[in-house]
Amino acid sequence: MPQEQSQIKERQRTDLREPQRYKVTIHNDDFTPMDFVVKVLTQVFFKQPAEAEKLMLQVHHSDKAVVGIYTYDIAVSKVKRATMMARNEGFPLRLTYEPD
């Protein structure tokens, strides 16, 4: 009887880590209406109306506020979507993302 060779391959251990997170910041300007900022926060960042108003006031008083912490792809997508909404309405709203 011939000996059968095993088809089992050894697994190599890989170091799995959580993906890096990015914080999305919304910046104050003198032209974007407060109600539009609340609209962006509720539609793009899925904030409740009360939380969206609180963040909008924080932006108004301290020039910026962190609106969320996401993985890279989601942070970029949300910044692009919010910026596109603002440009379509003619507002210069600025959002940025940076490593957390």
Give residue 9's pLDDT band: very low, low, confident or very high (50, 70, 90): confident
Please answer whether residues 82 and 25 qualify as being in contact, where contact means their C-beta atoms are separated by less than 8 angstroms.
Answer: no
Residue 4, pLDDT > 80, answer no
All domains in the chain, ordered by first residue: 31-99 (3.30.1390.10)
The separation between the first and the last C-alpha atoms of the chain, rounded to the nearest angstrom, is 62
Give dist(CA 95, CA 51) in Å, integer.
18
* Mean of pLDDT values over 52-77: 97
pTM: 0.82
* Mean of pLDDT values over 1-20: 75
Please answer whether residues 59 and 24 qualify as being in contact, where contact means their C-beta atoms are separated by less than 8 angstroms.
Answer: no
Strand partners, 66: 25
Are β-strands 21-27 and 94-99 bridged in parallel, bridged antiparallel, or unpaired?
antiparallel
